[in-house]
Amino acid sequence: MSIKILTEHCSTPGIETFEVYRQKGGYVAVEKAVKKMTPEEVVEEVKKSGVRGRGGAGFPMGMKWSFLAKPEGIPRYLVCNADESEPGTFKDHYLMKTIPHLLIEGMIISSYALGANKSFIYVRGELMYVIRILEKAIEEAKAAGFLGKNILGSGYDLELIIQPGGGAYICGEETALLESLEGKRGNPRNKPPFPAVKGLYQSPTVVNNVESIATVSWIINNGGEAYAAVGVGKSTGTKLISASGHINKPGVYEIELGLSCDEFLNSDEYCGGVRTGHRLKAVVAGGSSVPIVPGALFLKNANGEDRLMSYESLSDGGFATGTMLGSGGFIAFDETACIVRNTWNFSRFYEHESCGQCSPCREGTGWMQKVLNRIEHGKGSMSDIDLLVDVSKKIEGNTICPLGDAAAWPVASAIRHFRDEFEWHIQHPLEATKAGAVYMGAVLV
Amino acid sequence: MTENNNIVFTPERLAKVHEIIERYPEGKQKSALLPVLHIAQEQFAWMSQGVMDYVASLLHIQPVEVYEVASFYTMFHLEPVGKHVIEYCRTGPCVLMGGEEVFGHLQQKLGIKKGETTSDGLFTLKEVECLAACGWGPCFQIREKYYMHLNNQKVDEIIEELSK
């Protein structure tokens, strides 16, 4: 068994309660941090760990913390991004409902490190039942003296607030999240200024993903260097992977970064292989936004070397032959999956979720969806394929926030790697529109 | 602004609303909008103009500040809904797990399409985007409860149970 930093105690009965969590060593890191360490020392350990933002961007968390402005007399805020909405991603959902105190403990230590006295966990509104679980955990932690005024006699005060979202993917973008937290529509802000300087209520703010914050207790207990010793290269530590689609064992798995993609897909410890009796056609490795790749390019890079589950290895080859680790939303497609239909499905998602602020995204996501719709329904023409590529290029890089890129990449990559499938749809409309029809020319693994 | 004297939170909910408003820094009470809208929908089922105006009055903000938010976030129902609102996921991973067939069956079973309400007012079907339960799909949500690993038989059982 490989090292489990986040999920070691997830199968312990009662781990959602303060009592059991405490028995398993919970909140020891809070005691250590607030009693024996300065906030700067906590930041230093997190920096040393090399842990990278687990929401998808992969930016080093310690560095993000060190950017936080600290003007005198102005409050600072920590906001946890629990708006998990990227198709294929359900790890934060799993972690929060299973072991809520891991997040609460991480929030206390992180807030202490950043000098925040009021911190927020912004949870997607659909997960109201998880919000109830987190609120109960907060009450328990407060009753035990780990939250509220003068935590463990240290003089440090912290209030933790759970904020529900309202069903908007865009609020996973950190500045849209802050707008939403201020009671407004989730329109991303122009940057600069970055949240580290002007964030929530125009005060310096750090926004971190659930999984990122959940690593902090382990880092404080074991040291940043111990964390950095796990993983591979600049992909330190472990990562939660949400596995879905055509595999034998869908679920959430904690992997040590650097695990081979082949082992992740085929080992019984993880996905248990492609659905029995089927073969692998394509993979989305890191959530719906990252480029889709043929199965063979997920398992090995363009040079024929084994691909690893790490930020660097998955992106090896750039967008020509690589993809991204993203949020760790792994989706497997077997030979029964239609790439055109799936691309259309994802494009509907992005059209629906565009906030409408930037023209390239607002209009472009709609155009891509319409063109893909007509191809899928046997009414496409060959020029539509290049039209899609053209529209995707005009969105990419031309919007305030990354939703534009997120909408463009799945379309551009599907055409890059599965162009013959799009052509088949256009050239054989009668055949392609039959129920369950799938292009049979794809290379399978 | 419409006057509507029937729209008032229950004492318990009103106390909860005031508790929520209090938790934000001074002058930032608008932050309470989303949580209060959720409580409003819990009691009043949907966002009538009267409900939104009432929420605006509690937060001391303009009604339009509530309208623009309630209409931006897809969880808030802008039309009357049935007793049980079934929000089923239409996004890729649930489709791979057989979502299209299962939710096609659901529509047949209820005799309504997405966005519609059954004539007895019992069920409303709403198509939603990814519910962050991809490995446990196909899934739908009714109020706070997630229903996962759905198939036609499970759908039948849930509908029959809720129809009692």
**pLDDT per residue as tens digits for the range B24-63:** 999 999 999 999 999 999 999 999 999 999 999 999 999 9
At B15, the pLDDT band (50, 70, 90 cuts) reads very high
Find where tokens 């339009």 sit. B64
| Closest CA–CA distance from residue B69 to any residue of chain A (Å) | 5
Q: What is the DSSP letter of A248?
A: S
| Closest CA–CA distance from residue B156 to any residue of chain A (Å) | 23
A233/A211 Cα distance (integer angstroms): 20
CA distances from B73 to B106, B114, B142 (A): 25, 18, 17
For the stretch B126-142, pLDDT in tens is 999 999 999 999 999 99
pLDDT score recorded for residue A25: 97
Q: What are phi and psi of A291, to 5 degrees?
A: -55, 135
Q: Are A109 and A29 in contact (CB under 8 A)?
A: yes
A345/B92 Cα distance (integer angstroms): 6
Closest-approach residue (CA) in chain A for B56 = A183
DSSP string, A267-284: -TTTT-SBSTT--EEEEE
| Closest CA–CA distance from residue B8 to any residue of chain A (Å) | 21
CA distances from A375 to A197, A410, A427 (A): 46, 16, 10
Say if residue B120 is exposed, middle or buried (CB neighbours under 10 Å; 0-12, 13-18, 19+). Answer: exposed
Contact at CB, A244 and B33, closer than 8 angstroms? no
Q: Are B62 and B56 in contact (CB under 8 A)?
A: yes
A1 pLDDT higher than 70:
no
Mean pLDDT (whole number) for A423-435: 95
For the stretch A84-110, pLDDT in tens is 999 999 999 999 999 999 999 999 999
Task: Tell me the ipTM for this assembly.
Answer: 0.96
pLDDT score recorded for residue B2: 46
Q: Are A273 and A329 in contact (CB under 8 A)?
A: no
Instruction: Sort out which chain A residues have CB atoms less than 8 A from B24's CB and list them.
Output: 161
Contact at CB, A183 and B65, closer than 8 angstroms? yes
Contact at CB, A242 and B134, closer than 8 angstroms? yes
Average pLDDT, chain A: 97
Percent of chain A that is helix, strand, coil (3-state, to 5)? 45, 15, 40
B3 pLDDT higher than 70:
no
Classify A438 in phi/psi space as left (phi over 0), alpha (psi -120 to 50) or beta. beta
Helices (H), A377-435: 383-395, 403-427, 429-432
* Least trusted range by pLDDT, from A147-156, A264-273, A417-426, A433-442: A433-442
CA distances from A428 to A150, A339, A420, A425, A443 (A): 71, 15, 12, 5, 19
